[in-house]
Amino acid sequence: MTLAHLAGTAAYATPPLWRILTKSGYFVGLSGALGATVTYAAAVRPALRAPASERADVEVLRRRTARYLAWAGVVLAVAGYFQLAGRVARARKGLPFGDALAPGRIWDFLRAPAAKGSWVAQGTIYLVQNAVLLLACLVLIALFVPRARRQLDALALTALPLVLAVSLIAAVPAVAPKDADHVLDPLFDQVHIVSGTVWLGGLALLAALAAARGRLTANAGLLWADLWRRFSLVALVCVGAVLTSGLWMSWKHVGGIGQLWTTTYGLFLFVKIALVLGMVAAGGVNQFWLMPRIEQARRADSSASLLHLTLRHFPKVVWAEVALGVGVLAVVPFLGGSARAEAGSPAPVTNGSILAVGAALVLTLAASLFITVRTSDALSRRAGQGEAEAGQSSGVTARSSAVTDAGSSSLPVR
C-alpha cells in the first residue's frame, strides 16, 4: 500500500455514549410519533369506521390509540431536546454534553449568525424544526385529556404533517447545493428515515393495540383482519422506499462488497442490512402465510380462528419485527463516516448511467412488490376456494348419505 493511499484513508471514530443514546432515542421518538400517526390515518382509522366493526371494540382501540399517541408525544419531546443538546455539543468541540443541556447554551446555538455564503443560519433551521416539534408534541400530549380524546381524528391528522415536517426541515440546506449529489443525498436520506420510522412505528403501534385483546369481543377478529390488511399495504410501500434509498446510500458509502467486512463502517452496515432483511423476512411470513389463512378464516366465517390468527399469531411475528427494528436503531449511531473513506476508495461519481441503472433497479423492485401483492391475494383466494370446495364436498357427502339412508329404510325387511 502506498503512502499516498494511506494518506487518503480516514480512521473510523467510535461515537461517544451520549451521541449513541441521543441519536437512537431521537429515532425512537420519531418512529413512535410519525409511524403511529401515519398508521392511524392509513390503517387504524379506516378499519374502525367500517360498518361491521363492533362498537365496543372500536371504543377500546380508540382509547388505547389515544393514550399511545399521547405518550409518543412525550417521548418525542424528551428525545428532541436531547438531540438538540447533542447538536450543540457537536458544534462546539470539547463542550461536555452535560453543559450542552443548559437552555442558555442551546439558545445561543439557535441564534448564531449565518456562516459566510449561507442563505440562512443553520441555527435558524434548527429553531424552526424544534418549534414545529414542540407544536406536534403538544398536539399529541393533549390526548391525555379525556375531553380531547373525542377529537382523536382531528388531533392525530393535525400531528401527522407536523411530525413529518420535523424530519424534513432538518434536511433543508443552509447553503445552495453545489451539484446533483447535494440534492439527491439528503433526498434519499429523508426517504430512508421517513419510510423506516413509519414502518417500525406502525408495527409498534399495532403490536401495542393487539395487547388489548383481553378487552375485545369475540367478533374483533374481523376488524383486525381488515386492519392488518390495510397496514400490510403501508408496510409494503415502506419496504420499497427503504430498500431503494438504502441502495443509493450503500453505493455512496461502500466502494465494494469486500468493504462490508474489511472496514468498521462496513461491518456495522452489514449488521444493519441483516436486521432489515430479517424484518423483510418476517413481513413475508405475514404476507404469504398468515394473511391467506386469515382470509380463509374470514370467508369460512370462523370467528374463533380469525380471532386466534389476528390477535395471537400475527402479533407474535410483529413483535419479532419490532425487536429487529429496535436493533436497527441501535446500530444507526455507529454509521458515521463511510467505508470508502476508511479504505481510501475514491468518491463515487453520479452520472446519467448511474441514474439509469438506479431507475431500472427501482422499477424492478416496484414490479417485485406488485408481484408480492398479487401472489398474496392469489394465495388468499385459493385458500378461500379450497374451503368452499371442502364445504361443498361435505354437503354432497351428507346429501348422498341421506339418500342412501332413505333408500335403505324403504327396503323390505326380510
Q: 3-class SS at 15?
A: coil
DSSP annotation of 346 reads P
Length of the chain measured in residues = 414
First to last CA, the chain: 106
> What is the per-residue pLDDT across 84-114, written as a single tens digit (0 to 9) for each?
999 999 998 889 999 999 999 999 999 999 8
| pTM above threshold 0.75 | yes
Rounded to a whole number, what is the largest CA-CA distance in the chain?
A: 114
Average pLDDT, stretch 231-248?
Answer: 92
- Per DSSP, the chain holds a count of helices (H) and strands (E) of 18, 0
Give the per-residue pLDDT at 406: 43
Give the per-residue pLDDT at 380: 58
Give the per-residue pLDDT at 227: 92
User: Taking a C-beta distance cutoff of 8 angstroms, is the pair 303, 219 a contact?
Assistant: yes
Give the per-residue pLDDT at 382: 66
**From CA 267, how far away is CA 259, in angstroms rounded?**
8
Average predicted confidence (pLDDT) for the chain: 85
User: Taking a C-beta distance cutoff of 8 angstroms, is the pair 191, 28 a contact?
Assistant: no
> What is the per-residue pLDDT across 334-344, written as a single tens digit (0 to 9) for each?
998 899 999 88
Average pLDDT, stretch 137-158?
Answer: 96
Helix (H) or strand (E) holding 399, with range, is helix 352-410
Give the per-residue pLDDT at 409: 42
**From CA 215, how far away is CA 217, in angstroms rounded?**
7
Helix (H) or strand (E) holding 19, with range, is helix 17-30
Cα torsion angle, 190, 191, 193, 197, sign: positive
What is the domain partition of the chain in residue ranges? 16-176, 178-393
Look at 391 and 195; give whichever has higher pLDDT.
195
**From CA 247, how far away is CA 252, in angstroms rounded?**
9
Confidence label for 362 from pLDDT (cuts 50, 70 and 90): confident
Q: Which of 186, 184, 164 is nearest to 173 (CA)?
A: 186
Lowest mean pLDDT across 77-81, 91-95, 257-261, 348-352: 348-352
**From CA 270, how far away is CA 259, in angstroms rounded?**
10
Q: Which of 204, 231, 211 is nearest to 319 (CA)?
A: 204
> What is the per-residue pLDDT across 149-175, written as a single tens digit (0 to 9) for each?
999 999 999 999 999 999 999 999 988
User: Taking a C-beta distance cutoff of 8 angstroms, is the pair 40, 69 a contact?
Assistant: yes
Cell numbers given for 202: 406502525
DSSP string covering 252-282: HH-SSTTHHHHSHHHHHHHHHHHHHHHHHHH
**From CA 192, how far away is CA 215, in angstroms rounded?**
36
